[in-house]
Structure 1
Amino acid sequence: MYSQDIKKKQTAIPSNKQEVKKPIQEDSIKNSLAETPADTVKLDTIKVKKNALNGKVKYKAEKYTKIEQKKKLITLYDKAELYYQDVELKSGIIVMDYEKNEVYAGRIKDSLGNYTQFPNFKQGSNVIEPDSIRFNFKTKKALIWNSRSSQGEFNVKAAITKKENDSVYFLKGARFTTSKDVDNPEYYFQTNKIKFIPGKKIVTGFTNMVIAGVPTPLFLPFAYFPLSKETSTSGIILPSYNDSNDKGFSLQNGGYYFALSDHYNLTLLGDYYTNGSYGVSVQSSYANRYNYQGNVNIRFENNIISERGYPDYSKTKIYNIQWSHSQDSKANPNSTFSASVNLGSSEYFKETINQVNVGSSLNNTLSSSISYSTVFHTVPESRISLTATHSQNTNTKAINMTLPTLQFSLDRIYPFAINDGAKKGIFKNINLQYNLNGKNSFITTDSLFFKPEMFRDAEIGFQHTIPLSTNFKIFKYFSVSSSLNYEEVWYFNTINKQYDDNLSTVVTTDVKGFDSFRTYSSSTSVGTTIYGTFNFGEDKMIKSIRHVMRPAISHSYTPSFEKYYDTYATDGSGTMQKDYTRFEGGMYGAPGMNSSNFVGFNLSNTFEAKVADKDSTKTEPKKIMLLNNLNLSTSYNFDATELAWSPVRVSGGTQFFDNKLSANFGATLDPYAIDNSGNRIDVYNINNGGSLFRMTSANLTMNYSLSSSDSKKEKKNSQGKRNGGREDDLFGSDIDVGSVRNSQFDDEDQGEDAVTEFFRSKLPWDMTFAYSLTYGNNNREKKIIGNSIMVSANTDLTPKWKAGISTGYDFVQHGVTFTQLRFERDLMSWRMDFNWTPFGDNASWNFYIGIKSGILSDIKWEKRNLTNQ
Structure 2
Amino acid sequence: MTGSLAAQEKADSLFLLETTTLLAPDSLIFVQDSVPTDTLTGDTLKEKPLFEDIIAYDAQDSIRFSVEQKKVFLYGNANVKYITTELNANFIELDMEKKQAFASGLPDTSGTIVGTPIFKDGTQEFESKELRYNFETGKGFVKDIITQEGDGYVQGKLTKKLTDSIYCVKEGWYTTCDQHDHPHFYIRMNKAKMIRDKKVIAGFSNLVLEDVPLPLFIPFGFFPITKKGTSGIIMPTYGDERMRGFNLRNGGYYWAISDYIDLALTGDIYTNGSWGANLITNYRKRYKYNGNLNFTMSRNHTSEKGMPDYTQSSDWSIRWTHAQDNKANPYSTFSASVDISSANNNYYNSTNINDIANQRKQSSISWSKKWPEKPFSLTAAFSHNQNSRDSSISITLPNVNFRVSQFYPFRKKGKSGDLKWYDNIAVSYSAELRNSIQTKEDLLFKSSFDKWQNGFKHSIPINTTINVIKDVSLTPQFSYNAVLYTHAIRKYWVSDTSYYAKGYVKKDTINGFHYAHNYTASVTLAYNPTIYGMYMFKPNSKIHAVRHVIRPSVSVSYTPKMGVKRSKYYNTYLDVDNAEHEYSIFEDGIYGTPSGTQKNSGTISMSIDNNIEMKVRNDKDTTGENEFKKIKILESLRIGTSYDIFADSMNWSNIQITARTKLFNDKLNLDVTAVLDPYAVNVNGTRINKFHGGLGRLRSVSASTGFQFSSDDGKNREEKNELVGGFYDHYVDFDVPWAVSVDYTLNYTKSWTRNPNPGATKALSEGTISQMLRVNGDFSLTPKWKIGFSTGYDFDNHEVTATSFNISRDLHCWDMTFSCIPFGTHQSYNFQINVRSSLLRDLKLTKKESWYDTGNFYR
Per the TM superposition, whether the score is higher than 0.5 is yes
Match of 2:63 in 1: 65
Q: Secondary structure, in 3 states, of the residue corresponding to 1:778?
A: strand
Distance 1:461 1:474 in 2: 42
1:430 to 417, 425, 450: 425
Residues 466 and 485, structure 1, Cα contact 8 Å, conserved in 2: yes
Structure 2 residue ranges without an equivalent (≥5) = 2-15, 22-37, 753-763
Please state how far the C-alpha of 1:358 moved relative to its aligned partner: 2.3
Instruction: Classify 1:263/1:512 alpha carbon distance in 2 versus 1 (closer, same or farther; 3 Å).
Output: farther
Match of 2:25 in 1: none
Please state how far the C-alpha of 1:319 moved relative to its aligned partner: 1.1
Instruction: Classify 1:42/1:785 alpha carbon distance in 2 versus 1 (closer, same or farther; 3 Å).
Output: same
List aligned pairs for 1:288-687, cutoff 5 A: 288-352=285-349, 355-376=350-371, 381-422=375-416, 424-453=419-448, 455-501=449-495, 502=497, 503=500, 504=502, 507=505, 509-513=507-511, 514-515=513-514, 516-537=516-537, 538-554=539-555, 555-557=557-559, 559=561, 562-563=566-567, 564-569=569-574, 572-574=576-578, 576-584=579-587, 586-590=589-593, 591=595, 596-615=601-620, 617=622, 618=624, 620-686=627-693
Distance 2:266 2:831 in 1: 22
Equivalent position amino acid for 1:465 in 2: S
1:180 to 178, 181, 184: 178
Distance 2:721 2:534 in 1: 47
Instruction: Classify 1:167/1:615 alpha carbon distance in 2 versus 1 (closer, same or farther; 3 Å).
Output: closer
Deviates more, 1:98-107 or 1:490-499: 490-499
List aligned pairs for 1:619-768, cutoff 5 A: 620-686=627-693, 691-713=694-716, 716=719, 739=727, 741-745=729-733, 764-768=737-741
Render the CA deviation track for 1:146-184: whole Å, top value 9, x for unaligned: 111111222111111122232322211111122222342
Residues 96 and 103, structure 1, Cα contact 8 Å, conserved in 2: yes
Distance 1:536 1:331 in 2: 54
Please state how far the C-alpha of 1:821 moved relative to its aligned partner: 0.1
Render the CA deviation track for 1:375-410: whole Å, top value 9, x for unaligned: 3458x6322222121111222322222111121122
Distance 2:725 2:678 in 1: 56
Distance 1:834 1:546 in 2: 52
Distance 1:859 1:677 in 2: 72
Instruction: Classify 1:395/1:822 alpha carbon distance in 2 versus 1 (closer, same or farther; 3 Å).
Output: same
Residues 264 and 726, structure 2, Cα contact 8 Å, conserved in 1: no
Please state how far the C-alpha of 1:126 moved relative to its aligned partner: 2.1
Please state how far the C-alpha of 1:614 moved relative to its aligned partner: 1.8
Residues 190 and 207, structure 1, Cα contact 8 Å, conserved in 2: yes
Residues 775 and 782, structure 1, Cα contact 8 Å, conserved in 2: no
1:804 to 788, 792, 795: 788
Equivalent position amino acid for 1:557 in 2: T
Instruction: Classify 1:738/1:226 alpha carbon distance in 2 versus 1 (closer, same or farther; 3 Å).
Output: closer
Distance 2:322 2:404 in 1: 28
Residues 801 and 825, structure 1, Cα contact 8 Å, conserved in 2: yes
2:157 to 147, 156, 159: 159
Q: Secondary structure, in 3 states, of the residue corresponding to 1:539?
A: coil
Distance 2:356 2:570 in 1: 46
Distance 2:170 2:279 in 1: 42
Instruction: Classify 1:610/1:709 alpha carbon distance in 2 versus 1 (closer, same or farther; 3 Å).
Output: same
Alignment pair present for 1:859 and 2:848: no
Q: Secondary structure, in 3 states, of the residue corresponding to 2:857?
A: coil
Match of 1:244 in 2: 241
Match of 1:755 in 2: none
Please state how far the C-alpha of 1:243 moved relative to its aligned partner: 1.9
Residues 394 and 438, structure 2, Cα contact 8 Å, conserved in 1: yes
Please state how far the C-alpha of 1:297 moved relative to its aligned partner: 1.1
Distance 1:258 1:525 in 2: 67
Instruction: Classify 1:858/1:738 alpha carbon distance in 2 versus 1 (closer, same or farther; 3 Å).
Output: farther
Please state how far the C-alpha of 1:278 moved relative to its aligned partner: 0.8
Deviates more, 1:664-673 or 1:213-222: 213-222
Please state how far the C-alpha of 1:865 moved relative to its aligned partner: 1.7
1:109 to 79, 99, 107: 107
Instruction: Classify 1:201/1:703 alpha carbon distance in 2 versus 1 (closer, same or farther; 3 Å).
Output: same
Residues 230 and 725, structure 2, Cα contact 8 Å, conserved in 1: no
Please state how far the C-alpha of 1:781 moved relative to its aligned partner: 4.6
Bigger RCO of structures 1 and 2 (CA < 8 A, at least 6 apart): 1
Q: Secondary structure, in 3 states, of the residue corresponding to 1:450?
A: helix
Distance 2:164 2:406 in 1: 71
1:830 to 802, 811, 814: 814
Distance 2:823 2:601 in 1: 54
Aligned residues: 794
2:268 to 263, 267, 271: 271
Please state how far the C-alpha of 1:124 moved relative to its aligned partner: 2.0
Equivalent position amino acid for 1:660 in 2: K
Residues 638 and 657, structure 2, Cα contact 8 Å, conserved in 1: yes
Instruction: Classify 1:322/1:556 alpha carbon distance in 2 versus 1 (closer, same or farther; 3 Å).
Output: farther
Distance 1:465 1:868 in 2: 52
Instruction: Classify 1:616/1:768 alpha carbon distance in 2 versus 1 (closer, same or farther; 3 Å).
Output: closer
Q: Secondary structure, in 3 states, of the residue corresponding to 1:742?
A: strand
Distance 2:716 2:678 in 1: 48
Deviates more, 1:479-488 or 1:271-280: 479-488
List aligned pairs for 1:12-23, cutoff 5 A: none
Structure 1 residue ranges without an equivalent (≥5) = 7-39, 720-735, 747-757
Aligned identity (percent) is: 34
Distance 2:95 2:70 in 1: 6
Residues 721 and 730, structure 2, Cα contact 8 Å, conserved in 1: no
Please state how far the C-alpha of 1:313 moved relative to its aligned partner: 0.8
Distance 2:812 2:162 in 1: 34
Residues 721 and 728, structure 2, Cα contact 8 Å, conserved in 1: no
Match of 1:214 in 2: 212
Residues 235 and 256, structure 1, Cα contact 8 Å, conserved in 2: yes
Distance 1:738 1:261 in 2: 12
Please state how far the C-alpha of 1:705 moved relative to its aligned partner: 1.0
Render the CA deviation track for 1:472-501: whole Å, top value 9, x for unaligned: 322133344332222223333444444443
TM-score normalized by structure 2?
0.86
